[in-house]
Copies of this chain bind each other. A is one copy, B any other.
Amino acid sequence: MKALFEDLKKELKLRKIQLSHQRLKVLEYLTQNRSHPTVDQIFTDLHQEMSTLSKTTVYNTLRVLVEAGLVRAINIEDHETRYDINVENHGHFKCESCGRIYDFHTDLDALACDGLNNFLIKDRNVYFNGICPRCR
């Protein structure tokens, strides 16, 4: 189930999204860095090997990838969006102490909820806050 770089490339081709050098680098980065990186982390790391890369391109690429459904944007306070190559049904835990974001398995579709008749649900998110084992 793990999103493989080669599969993702095919997916982009299918959707007629150009596979530019920059886009492939960002996509590859996300498959290799599953710690929910910020734009700044992605940019800083990639800039080491691609000195001409622009932060705007990272933003643009991420928008394209999110719109294509290949990447998920995560907003857990902080006013800084993080990105996740794993778009499957899972939850996030943010440690108040170290700031790390952990994945956990959960079936959101199983969550019973009242008051959403006639609502069209496109996306479901769960996140917890607290202290991680490493920080306790």
Residue from B73, B106, B111, B133 within 8 A of A114 (CB atoms): B106
Q: Are A114 and B105 in contact (CB under 8 A)?
A: yes
A122 located at the interface, meaning its Cβ lies under 8 Å from any Cβ of chain B in the complex: yes
Q: How far is the CB of A5 from chain B (nearest CB, A)?
A: 25
Complex: how many Å from CA A107 to CA B125? 14
A121→B128 contact, CB < 8 A: yes
Q: Does A116 lie within 8 Å of B93, measured CB to CB? A: yes
Judge whether A113 is part of the interface by a CB distance below 8 angstroms: yes
Question: What are 19 A-B interface contacts by the 8 Å CB criterion?
Answer: A73-B77, A75-B76, A77-B81, A79-B81, A102-B116, A104-B116, A106-B112, A106-B114, A118-B136, A119-B131, A119-B133, A121-B128, A121-B130, A122-B131, A123-B129, A123-B130, A124-B129, A125-B129, A126-B126
Report Cα–Cα, A78/B107, bound state, in Å.
26
Are A111 and B96 in contact, with the CB atoms below 8 A? no
Q: How far is the CA of A117 from the CA of B102 in the complex (A)?
A: 12
Q: How many copies does the complex hold?
A: 2
Q: Taking beta carbons and an 8 Å cutoff, which residues of A are in contact with B?
A: 73, 75-79, 81, 91, 93, 96, 102-108, 110-133, 136
* Chain B: CB-nearest residue to A124: B128
B126 and A125 within 8 A (CB)? yes
- Select from chain B the residue with minimum beta-carbon distance to A132: B119
